[in-house]
Structures are given as structure tokens and as C-alpha cells.
Amino acid sequence: MRGRSHRSMRSVSLRQKGGGFTLLEVVLSMGILALLAASVYAITSASIGASRTAMEQQLTLRRLDAFLRVTRSAFLNLPSQGTVSLDLVRGKGGEPEVRLTLGKVQGLFGMPSLGGGALVLAAKPRSDGTRTMCMIRVPSSLNDRELEAALSSPGTPLLPKVRKPRWSFFQDGAWKEEWPKGSPRPALVRLQLEMEEIASPVEAIFFLPPVVPPVAATPSQSAAPSPTPDPSPRP
């Protein structure tokens, strides 16, 4: 009896021991779950980051395309009396600021009331080291103080996060970096810049319609024609 009871108690203890998990098995299971969770988190974070980067690039490309279309339209619709000049001045913070001025314009950038005034494309510095291409409307009736205040204003932002914007002008078979006031209208205008979301530099060339000289007035057809000599011999 004693031997039989001892064997039955031993079999019960073995069944109880085989039915549970050891501490090592629990630790291994938790480690595997942690690795799976970390892998899922890394994959999800990478997918979200890639989607965010793609969306930012698409937004940057749309902004760049809109800016180039508006600027190209401004150059194409520059009136015959319109002028083009480039100035390098000091902004509010003392940093250099490039300003492209389209003078004596009307109807550009959707502003038909800007008769005889100017539109300025300025590269305003930002706190992060980049620049924002802004449009500044300058009416023709401003005095010197009002003109300085208008040019120092933030203007209307068109294209943010721009680096190294540079304008150049094509005339007489060569590109020129300087184009002061009073210069003749160039044949082409080139804009070069860099953007954080775009790997390669951006280059855009804008065509300007040539200035056609006025046609000389023709004599009135109502005036009597001058008499022509008679070629026939006289008797």
C-alpha cells in the first residue's frame, strides 16, 4: 500500500509540474513579444515618416510650380513701358536682401489697379537661415519714407524655405549678374535657387517680350499726289 501511494503521489506531482510555465519560458516569451512590438513600431514609424516626407515634397513642388507660373506670367505680360532692375540692399536684420523690381506695370499678379507702380520680388530672410520669396506692391504715389516702409514690409509670401536665390539677365549673348536701374529690358531672366525638400537645384528661365518701336506715321492718303512728269515727247 505504501509503495502504491508513493507512486500515485509522484505521478500527480509530475502532472502538476508539466502543466505550468517556468520562469525562463515566461522571460523568453516576453522577450519575443518585445522584439515583435519593436519591429512593428519601427515599420510603422518608417511608413509614417516616408508618407510625411512625400507629402512635404509634393506640397513644395506645388508651391514652386505656382510661384514659377505666376512669375512667368508677370514677365510675359510686362507692358512696353515696363522696366526691370535688380537691387541688393540691407534688410531689417542687416542681412543682404535681393530685390527684383518690375517698374511701370499694370495688371500683373492680378492687380489691375497698380497703374504706373512697381512690383518687387524680394528674398526675405527667415529665422532658420532660409528665405521666403515675397511680393511687395509699391504704388507710384509714395514718397521716400513711405517707399522705404513698403519695401521693408513682409509683403505677400509666395515661396518659403528658399536658399541661395540668384537672378541673372541675358543680353548681347551673355548672362549678367547685375542689372541696375535704367538698364534696357533684357531678353531673358534666369532664377536659380535651392530648396530643402528638392535634392537638385532649381533653375527657371523667363522670356520677356521685346519692346517694339512705334511705327512711323504714314502720309495721309487723302493728300493729293504730286504730279508726275509726262514721259511722252512733245512735238
pLDDT tens sequence across 145-166: 888 888 888 888 999 999 999 9
Q: Residue 71 and residue 89: Cα distance in Å, rounded?
A: 21
pLDDT given at position 134: 93
Cell of 212: 517694339
Q: Residue 133 and residue 139: Cα distance in Å, rounded?
A: 20
Q: Which of 19-23, 167-171, 216-220 has the lowest mean pLDDT?
A: 216-220
| Residue 65 within a domain | yes
- CA angle, 183 then 184 then 186, to 5°: 110
Look at the pTM and tell me if it is higher than 0.75. no
| Residue 216 within a domain | no
What torsion, rounded to 10 degrees, do the Cα atoms 37, 41, 43, 49 define?
180
| Residue 112 within a domain | yes
| Residue 220 within a domain | no
| Residue 103 within a domain | yes
Phi and psi at 58, nearest 5°, equal -65, -40
| Residue 40 within a domain | no
- Cβ atoms 192, 169 nearer than 8 A: no
Q: What is the pLDDT of residues 39-81, one digit of tens each?
A: 888 888 787 777 777 787 888 889 999 999 989 988 988 888 8
Range of the domain at 88: 61-207
Number of domains in the chain: 1
| Residue 218 within a domain | no
**Please, which contacts does 206-212 make with residues 24 or more away whose CB atoms are closer than 8 Å?**
206/71, 206/72, 206/75, 206/76, 207/75, 207/76, 208/75, 208/76, 208/78, 208/84, 209/76, 209/78, 210/185, 211/80, 211/185, 212/80
| Residue 159 within a domain | yes
